[in-house]
Amino acid sequence: MAAICDKRKFVAVENEEILPNAKRVKADIDQNQETAEGDFEPESVLCGFQTREVLKHSAREKNIFIHGQIDGQDAVVILETNPIQENSLGELFSGSTLKLEMKNDIYSTYQLQAPPHLNEIKTTLVWPATKKHVNKFKHQESFLVEETKEDYSTITLPYILLKRGLNVQWVYNILEKKEEVDRIVYEDPDPNLGFVLLPDMKWDQKNVDTLYLIAIVHQRDLKSLRDLTSEHIPLLLNIFNKGQVAILDRYKLPANKLRVYLHYQPSYYHLHVHFTKLDYDPPGCSVERAHLLANVIQNLHNDPEYYKTWTMYFPLRESDELLGKFKKAGRL
């Protein structure tokens, strides 16, 4: 691991299903626990990383998730190979060296040694990491859960109310301009209809082909889809329309090239909307979890209480605490 200490980017992350997911990942640290911020130099924080186990790796996605320790505290490191960008091809070809591996007639393969700044590894660090973080990034079996209106009231909502305060402080920091101010792409400050739009931590903000932004609403009483009624249609339309305009202005992507959706279950219980490029398939955009915002608005037009009354289906991983509560209630 010492090899990744040079010129690697330290990224503070949040608790999110996000990765192989990355919806954003933030350290879900208890508010009574001190963070390590200010106690280390970001450029060298991984030099003391001691590997314990590989949680998951994917040759297809070109990433690896590693559990270890830094200064005696658990940590999770996620290494991802950055995509090759079209605007760097000229420098890549002219500044690289090739090592021949095989040649047969017109076919040959090489190992290309690129200039260091074109060969960086995106690195995400969760530290201090809890057991929940370690389990979240570990490969696990998933189960499809059926949640009725009654299940939500008796199982899911009590769980949300118990856990919510511990994993949304980072959201309030953004809304109150205490953190990530320089990352905000657009804001509508209206307390009822407004939102903040900023890049998701999974996006490197360089390659528009993997564009991923999050719109976080200013209203603090909206936890998820289950809280939405027809009275929230103006809020949803405001996010839908102004978010698309902001992305067109900043990144030159029109609305018909965007996927705009919400998760259920969300990875954190403060209402937010995902904006991704349509032909990019980030974790969590599958049909069992993602709900297109346009469809949500239409459903609420047709039935003002749609998301309060309809049975919802969503996947949970085997270590998820909420899954355990559904099992205990005899619902699985």
Q: List the catalytic residues.
A: 272
Answer for the pair 248, 185: CB distance below 8 angstroms, yes or no. no
The tokens describing 332, both together, are 């699985």
CA–CA separation, 216 vs 239, rounded Å? Answer: 9
Go through the chain and tell me how many residues it has: 332
Answer for the pair 317, 56: CB distance below 8 angstroms, yes or no. no
214 sits in which H/E element: strand 212-217
**Which position has the token pair 């390659």?**
207
**Which position has the token pair 């998933």?**
142
Answer for the pair 32, 57: CB distance below 8 angstroms, yes or no. no
CA–CA separation, 271 vs 213, rounded Å? Answer: 14
CA–CA separation, 260 vs 331, rounded Å? Answer: 31
| Cβ neighbours of residue 154 closer than 8 Å, sequence gap 6 or more | 329
Helix (H, G, I), strand (E, B) or coil at 175: helix
| Cβ neighbours of residue 90 closer than 8 Å, sequence gap 6 or more | none
9 sits in which H/E element: none
Helix (H, G, I), strand (E, B) or coil at 203: coil
CA–CA separation, 167 vs 174, rounded Å? Answer: 13
